[in-house]
């Protein structure tokens, strides 16, 4: 056990789906998995293990932001022998062609975070996903006839940004969308020799006024969840 996770070794499977919202983790467990057992409730960061079409896997919340996912991902990789973490989260679209509920797969993550300073590198490291997980997710999306955009996302440390037009500069660099976790997840996986991927659903857009409700973000991102789950079967 760790200060943040009451699971015993063996309770958590090799692959973990990780939404930010622990209630979305509960929703995934209750609606997509069988033989479900809860392994964590510390700080209400709910975690469950079960089976999807016979495949053993786990699902657990990460909380919001790079510091939070950095804690949980590190402990899952290092203390519980997890090999693969697939983040399933929401994002705000920078790309004008992305609409609400569209899917984005993060091939790489840029950031304004100082998370990488701990590695004391003599330059700037690129935070990238695992190609095998990426390949399987794209194959799954194609089989499910779902359109996805694959590219770079921006992991921001700031939700309420005082510089309201700053996002346009990231859009100019081809960044597809903004979220708050992938940069920390990818660098943690790279450091520990593990695998990570982020699959996102567009919950709002910087080009439109429409946005999804909290209830929709909790329970209506089924396309993203199915892509992640089906990719685990390949």
- Tokens 């709002």, located at residue: 204
Cα 30–chain centre separation:
19
Q: Out of 11, 21, 102, 204, pick the active-site residue.
A: 204
**Residue keyed to tokens 């079967």:** 233
Tell which residue, 189, 186, 181, has the closest CA to residue 76.
189
204: annotated binding-site residue? yes
CATH code linked to domain 15-232: 3.40.50.1580
* Distance from chain centroid for Cα 174: 20
Beta bridge partners of 55: 52
Asked whether residue 179 is marked as a ligand-binding residue, the answer is: yes
Tell me: is residue 203 an annotated ligand-binding position.
yes
pLDDT of residue 218: 66
pLDDT tens digits, 81-139: 999 999 999 999 999 999 999 999 999 999 999 999 999 999 999 999 999 999 999 99
Q: Which two tokens stand for residue 19?
A: 């939404």
**pLDDT value for 220:** 66
d(CA 49, CA 53): 13
Q: Is 20 annotated as a binding residue?
A: yes
Q: In Å, how far are 90, 93, 177 from 210, measured between CA atoms?
A: 14, 11, 15
Distance CA 90, CA 159 (A): 13
Q: What was the pLDDT predicted at 21?
A: 95
Residues 86 and 133: beta-carbon distance below 8 Å = yes
Domains in the chain: boundaries: 15-232
Residue 180 is labelled as binding a ligand: yes
Calpha distance 171→84 (Å, rounded): 29
Give the separation between CA 218 and CA 30, rounded to whole angstroms: 13
pLDDT value, residue 212 = 78
Residue 179: what pLDDT?
98
Q: Which stretches of the chain drop beneath a pLDDT of 70?
A: 217-220
**Residue 49 φ/ψ, nearest 5 degrees:** -120, 150
Residues pairing with 211 in the sheet: 204
Residue 90 marked as a ligand binder? yes
Is 172 one of the catalytic residues? no
For residue 216, the model assigns a pLDDT of 74
């Amino acid at each position: 056990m760790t200060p943040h996770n009451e699971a015993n070794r063996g309770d958590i499977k090799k692959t973990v789906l990780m939404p930010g919202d622990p209630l979305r983790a509960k929703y995934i467990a209750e609606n997509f998995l069988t033989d479900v057992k809860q392994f964590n409730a510390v700080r209400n960061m709910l975690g469950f293990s079960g089976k999807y079409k016979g495949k053993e896997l786990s699902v657990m919340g990460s909380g919001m932001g790079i510091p939070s996912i950095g804690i949980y991902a590190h402990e899952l990789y290092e203390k519980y022998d997890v090999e693969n973490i697939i983040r399933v989260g929401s994002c705000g679209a920078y790309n004008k062609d992305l609409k609400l509920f569209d899917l984005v797969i993060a091939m790489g993550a840029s950031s304004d975070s100082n998370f990488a300073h701990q590695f004391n590198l003599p330059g700037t490291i690129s935070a990238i996903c695992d190609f095998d997980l990426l390949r399987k997710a794209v194959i799954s999306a194609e089989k499910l006839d779902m359109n996805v955009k694959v590219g770079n996302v921006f992991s921001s440390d700031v939700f309420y940004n005082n510089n309201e037009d700053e996002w346009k500069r990231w859009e100019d660099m081809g960044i597809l969308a903004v979220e708050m976790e992938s940069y920390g997840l990818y660098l943690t996986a790279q450091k520990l020799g593990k695998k990570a991927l982020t699959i996102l659903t567009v919950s709002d857009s910087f080009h439109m006024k429409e946005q999804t409700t909290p209830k929709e973000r909790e329970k209506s991102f089924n396309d993203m969840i199915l892509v992640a789950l089906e990719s685990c079967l390949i």
